[in-house]
């Protein structure tokens, strides 16, 4: 089992440990115990899931909504509850879905600090799923990013051009600027390529001369024609030596 498969399985693992004896998770858990990087990833995921669960458990539908909905019904007919229920619950369900979407955004946003020199590339990497667009090659990803008006690298190193593509994602800094992310698979590891332009590169303090380690991620900058590409992987950086 590779780490990508293990992550897909562990993404469904409940934070209270209720799945510890489930044979579906056994192989992924065994690999997690023997792989420090995968273990760090799981701990981050479990912490996020626990925060999300606690926040959702605190949500309560307002008691006043029932009376407000009943007041809109016609007094000339009295359909049964079972006939009324779907109509009554649809607005509440829509409100809860909207609230859940806002809640997810609010929980994840604090991880990203949009201040000069303080943006954590590892935080961007953790927030790289789900992808906004899936594609198996760099050409398709670059075309999609260009269509969105997002920063696009003029070219990519041959190693990335020939790598298996996964897709791409956009990050908004809240000031009208966008950071692009292209995702590749090299060997058994994911490689994220973040593209910062002149409006966003000041957020990141990353060296182009050497690899840095941050929360289990190996990071390095690759300057390119006014852009800065930030390479992030949990794999062995020696496998990416050809990029430089």
Separation between Cα atoms, residue 122 and residue 230, nearest integer Å: 10
pLDDT, one tens digit per residue, over 89-110 is: 666 665 555 555 544 443 333 3
Q: Residue 184: beta bridge partners? A: 165, 191
Mean residue pLDDT of the chain comes to 79
Task: Judge whether 119 and 204 are in contact, CB under 8 Å.
Answer: yes
Structure tokens at 178: 């966008």
Domain residue ranges of the chain, discontinuous segments joined by + = 3-57, 64-109, 121-243
* pLDDT number for residue 152: 93
The Cβ of residue 125 has, within 10 Å, a number of other Cβ atoms equal to 24
Whether residue 44 contacts residue 126, with contact meaning beta carbons closer than 8 Å, is answered with: yes
**Cβ neighbours of 191 (radius 10 Å):** 23
Better-predicted residue by pLDDT, 64 or 217: 217
> Given this model, what pLDDT does residue 63 score?
65
Say what the pTM is: 0.55
Taking residues 57-79, report their average pLDDT.
62
Q: Which fold has domain 121-243?
A: Phosphorylase Kinase; domain 1 (3.30.200)
Q: Where are the alpha helices (DSSP H) in the chain?
A: 3-10, 23-34, 36-57, 64-71, 81-108, 121-126, 138-147, 158-161
């Amino acid at each position: 089992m590779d780490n990508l498969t293990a992550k897909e399985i562990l993404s469904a693992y409940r934070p209270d440990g209720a799945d510890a004896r489930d044979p579906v998770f056994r192989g992924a858990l065994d690999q997690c115990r023997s792989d420090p990087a995968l273990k760090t990833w799981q701990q981050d995921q479990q912490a996020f899931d626990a925060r999300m669960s606690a926040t959702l458990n605190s949500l309560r539908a307002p008691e006043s909504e029932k009376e407000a909905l009943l007041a809109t019904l016609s007094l000339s007919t009295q359909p049964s509850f079972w006939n009324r229920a779907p109509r009554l619950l649809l607005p509440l369900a829509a409100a809860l879905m909207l609230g859940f979407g806002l809640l997810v955004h609010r929980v994840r946003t604090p991880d990203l600090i949009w201040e000069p020199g303080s943006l954590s590339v590892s935080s961007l990497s953790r927030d790289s799923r789900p992808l906004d667009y899936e594609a198996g090659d760099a050409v398709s990803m670059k075309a999609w990013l260009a269509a969105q008006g997002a920063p696009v690298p003029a070219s990519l190193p041959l190693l990335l051009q020939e790598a298996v593509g996964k897709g791409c994602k956009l990050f908004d800094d809240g000031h009208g600027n966008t950071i692009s992310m292209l995702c590749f698979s090299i060997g058994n590891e994911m490689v994220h390529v973040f593209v910062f332009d002149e409006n966003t590169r000041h957020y990141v303090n990353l060296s182009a001369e050497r690899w840095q380690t941050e929360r289990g991620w190996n990071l390095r900058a690759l300057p390119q024609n006014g852009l800065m590409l930030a390479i992030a992987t949990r794999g062995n950086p020696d496998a990416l030596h050809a990029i430089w």
